[in-house]
Amino acid sequence: MDRRGPGGAARHRRLPLLQGTPALARPPDAGLPAGGLLQFHRGRLADQGSGAVSVTVLVTGAGGFVGSAVVRALAAEPGVSARLLAHRRPVAADRPGDVVTADLADASSLRGRLDGVDVIIHAASEVGSDPARCERVNVLGTRNLVEEAERAGLRHLVHVSTAAVHGLGPHRGLPEGSPPAPVSPASRSRREAERLTAAAGAVILRPFFVYGEGDRWYVPGLLRLLTTRPGTWFDGGRAQHSVVAVDDLAAMAVAAAVRPVPFAGGVPFHVCEPQPVSVRAVAEVLAGMFGLTVPTLSVSWRLARPALRNGPDYRRAELLAEDHVYAAPRVWAAAGAAPGAPFLDRLPDLAPWYGRFLGEVGEVGEVGEAGKVGEVGKAREVGEVSEVGEAGEGGRT
């Protein structure tokens, strides 16, 4: 399917999966006929190269930041049809797929919605600070989804979670499989959701900061630092973060859905670019893009931390001050894909999107716990997640 914007300009870069990366070490199960694509279909593997078998993938949170990117990625896969599950946040009219409505927290509304579905990509979550709402959406909603999947005989699920379940830093190349230590209602409930999906055999993906068209939290939050007078760094802005483009994250989710064997193993996958970026480096690129001034003031995080420790802004400050870098040794090879250009090289191309937030920005880090960009106090929608590690803690999936 040709996915082009007005004037015929390509809108989204498709991550090259197996066929486009001959130099990359291919996963063990990659001995496919030319043009073939392994597909999981009702508990069996089927060659999808001919398009003979149609596989239906249901996407939760299809109207959100990550969910929308997943829908775009699915549209490019042959032999795959999408079913888009939406709640209150509408799905764009141009999104390919059948739209169905349901409230994950209401089991009765899910009944029958998964009939005929082969794979679920679960990209919906609540990222606010209300513990009851996080419990209702992230825990009860995920439990209902898993139970309905079991009733429908569905055996394959991909869960887009967050590396924010690892909690406070510093994290410097934190390995996959490290014990989670969530610190907020959002991350604690999302960790509980992981337990539910893991018990059902799901592939779990954990991005941290997610950027790209649709991001209203990560880069807009850094723009606030550049447009606030006086902006101040912690330790000169040296903190390093793991990041991933939303389209690359979506490609990983789709790869895990249609190529389950390389993603097997039970340990959640970190999803990030090979090289982390510093807060200051991102700010310097943004300053060059928009003619802003990079802050010159800096305070010691070691000295500032005790005063902030018990305050409401500690998590946001900690995200700017501490390293949050996650080792991701498996995900690119499992997907049969090579990372694209690094974040700082791609960022200037996103100027049309991020430029709209100049003068209308929220906090970096915790959406819901930090406030939504330009709409503080407005109710957030389920499935509208970015990821500053957690959406609500880093972004929303």
* pLDDT tens-digit readout, 36-56: 233 333 333 344 444 445 899
Query: Whose structure tokens read 């995900």?
Result: 331
Per-residue pLDDT, averaged over 110-114, amounts to: 95
Q: What is the largest CA-CA distance in the chain?
A: 64
End-to-end CA distance of the chain: 24
The 10s digit of each residue's pLDDT in 59-96 is: 999 989 999 999 999 999 999 999 999 876 666 555 66
Q: Whole-angstrom Cα distance, residue 262 to residue 27?
A: 6
Q: What is the rounded distance in angstroms from the CA atom of residue 266 to the CA atom of residue 327?
A: 16
Q: Is the peptide bond prior to 230 cis by the omega test (within 30 degrees of 0)? A: yes
Mean pLDDT, to the nearest integer, of 9-18? 40
- Rounded Cα distance, 69 and 62, in Å: 8
Q: What is the pTM of this model?
A: 0.81
Q: Distance of CA 397 to CAs 2, 65, 169, 294, Å?
A: 25, 6, 21, 29
Q: Which residues pair with 205 in a beta bridge?
A: 160, 269
- Report residue 74 as tokens: 């699915």
- 269-278 pLDDT, tens per residue? 999 999 999 9
Question: Rounded distance, CA 360 to CA 34, Å?
Answer: 50
CATH topology of domain 6-215+241-274+325-340: Rossmann fold (3.40.50)
Q: What is the DSSP string of 133-175?
A: HHIIIIIIHHHHHHHHHHHTT---EEEE--GGGG-SS-EEEEP
Tokens 């957030």, located at residue: 380
Looking at the chain, how many residues does it have?
A: 397
Q: What percent of the chain has pLDDT over 90?
A: 61
Q: pLDDT tens digits, residue range 237-289?
A: 999 999 999 999 999 999 999 988 888 878 999 999 999 999 999 999 999 99
With a cut of 70, say whether residue 134 has pLDDT above it. Answer: yes
